[in-house]
Structures are given as structure tokens and as C-alpha cells.
Amino acid sequence: DSGVTQTPKHLITATGQRVTLRCSPRSGDLSVYWYQQSLDQGLQFLIQYYNGEERAKGNILERFSAQQFPDLHSELNLSSLELGDSALYFCASSVLGRASGANVLTFGAGSRLTVL
């Protein structure tokens, strides 16, 4: 158990629908990252939050949005779903704020989304 909790683990839905993926970061971690991994592909960075504020944005579609709440959990909202949105969505968290050293990301187990 990495300490990063993602729900749901699996989700099957239809095209045009909207889903919400949830992430609880490791205790003490202030930053949350979302990544998308399509079938047998690398991980694509979507968005990063730090202590409730958006800090970096990747190639996130306009149909997707995210936020980080005061309790530091984060949600990724995917709307008007298309077949190509089927993927494994990872959340990762990190402490940041360290005076030195690498910013190590700890990943959750992922949420597998299937769009039919």
C-alpha cells in the first residue's frame, strides 16, 4: 500500500457520460498530480495541484477538469467521454517543501476507466 488512495478502481461507462475520479494523497503530502496511461503507453501528465492551487498543467483536454480540496484530496472530472478516454488514470502525491532532495512522487494504484 503506497498510501495514495484512488477510487474507484474500475469504472465502465458510456460515451457522452461524465465521471469523477477521486484521490487521497499520502498523509503529509501537499501536492497531487494526475497522469493518464492509455493502453501500453507511457504516462502523460495532466495536471498538478499544490495545497489547493493549480501549479502545473499538461496536455489536459478542456473536457477534463480537476481540483484539490481543503482536506487535500483531489478529484479529476472527465466529461463528454469518448472511446479514446479509456485509460488508466493515476494520481500521485509528494511532499514538496523539502529544503533539498528530489521531489519523489508516490503513485496510487490507478483508476481504470473503460468507455463503451
Partner 1 sequence: AQTVTQSQPEMSVQEAETVTLSCTYDTSENNYYLFWYKQPPSRQMILVIRQEAYKQQNATENRFSVNFQKAAKSFSLKISDSQLGDTAMYFCAFMARINFGNEKLTFGTGTRLTIIP
Which residue, 11 or 88, is less far from partner 1 as judged by CB? 88
**Residue from the set 33, 64, 74, 78 that interacts with partner 1 by CB under 8 A:** 33
Burial 6-20 (b: 16+ CB within 10 A, else e): beeeebebeeeeebe
SS3 call for 104:
coil
Contact letters (x/-) for partner 1, 42-71, by CB under 8 A? xxxx--x-x----xx-x-------------
Which residue, 33 or 64, is less far from partner 1 as judged by CB? 33
